[in-house]
Each structure stands twice: as structure tokens, then as C-alpha cells.
Amino acid sequence: MPCHIQINKNLVNKIQLMSNDALSKSLIEANTIATDINKKFKTPVVSFMKTSSGKLERSIYIPQSLVDVYYNHELTLEKQGHVYNNQKEELEKTIIPNIINTKVSTLELDMNNLNLTPEVVNYLYGESSHRLSKESYGIQAKEISSILQGSNLTNQEILEKLKCL
């Protein structure tokens, strides 16, 4: 939640940074810088005057109306952030399960068609006895699958045989 006090401090710091160079200039140049800064904030926030010793003195004044503008802007951003987070949560609830379901469906489709993609080989290897390395398992599974496809076995029966490797 935005804080009026912190916003005021931030504005003072910003104006100090914007006007620091003016302190080493003449009063006319400093007032030109002040005019530019005041235009940016659309309200008088800084002014310069010469002290009796001849030094430039800076005066910064932050009107409450300016703090309120920044406060309201931060509130809006915060509300948009909440809306974004809520939308993100909704997307995560709906889209991510759909992506997972699509991957599962693709895996099932590849398995049913004996399309031995890396995902299918990983799945079958996970179901196997792990007697072979994963790489050897993949090579042998592809060879045995092509041989067995010419037999009278169904694709499901071939997959069961591949799990026994």
C-alpha cells in the first residue's frame, strides 16, 4: 500500500537531485532550472534565492495535491497488479492443466501409433526393468518395435513386450 509520507520523501529527493546543479550557478540560471522542474511537476515545487551572504538557497515545497496525484497513481498500479495476479492465477488454473493434458494426450497418441519419440522411450524405460542403459534401451526398443510390427501382435501387445526389455 502506498504511503503519503514516503511519497513526499521520494519527491523531495527527486527534486533535490534534479536541482543540485543549480546551487553552483547564478540566481538567474538557478531560477531557469527551477522553472523547468516546476513545469515537469506542473506546480511550483522548487525555488531559489540568494542569502545575505551571497549563497544560493534552495527551497523545496511539495503540495499535498502533488502527493495525492502520486499516491492515487500508485494505488492504481497496485490494483492493476492485483488484477494481473488474479488473471495469472486463473490462467495457471486453466491453461497449465490443458498443456499437461495435451502432453499426456500426445504421449498416448504416440504410444498407440508406436511412434517411439524420446518421450515415449522415456516412459517405456521408466516402466522397464532398467537392465539396459536408457540409450541402449531406446535403440533396442526401436529395433524390436519395427520387427514386431510385421507380426500379428497389436500395438498394445508390442508396447508390453518393450516394457520387458
- The predicted pLDDT at position 96 comes to 59
> Left (φ > 0), alpha (ψ -120 to 50) or beta: where does 115 sit?
beta
The number of domains in the chain is 2
Length of the chain: 165
The pLDDT value given to residue 64: 94
Report residues of the chain scoring pLDDT below 50. Answer: none
Q: What's the per-residue H, E or C state across 2-22?
A: CCHHHHHHHHHHHHHHHHHHH
121, 94: one domain? no
Clarify whether residues 22 and 59 are in a common domain: yes
The domain containing residue 152 runs over which residues? 113-165
Which pTM was predicted?
0.49
Per-residue model confidence (pLDDT) at position 126: 86
CA nearest neighbour of 155 among 127, 106, 105, 116: 116
Distance of alpha carbon 71 from alpha carbon 77, whole angstroms:
10
Q: Is 106 within a domain?
A: no
**Is 133 in the same domain as 56?**
no
Residue 117 is predicted with a pLDDT of 86
Cell of 51: 542569502
Query: Does any domain span residue 148?
Result: yes
pLDDT tens digits, 37-58 = 999 999 999 999 999 998 999 9
Coil, helix or strand at residue 115: coil
Q: Tell me which amino acid residue 57 is.
A: E
22 lies in the same domain as 75: yes
Amino acid at 148: L
Longest dimension (CA), the chain: 108
Q: Are residues 13 and 47 in the same domain?
A: yes
Torsion, Cα 70 36 60 68, to 10 degrees, reads -20
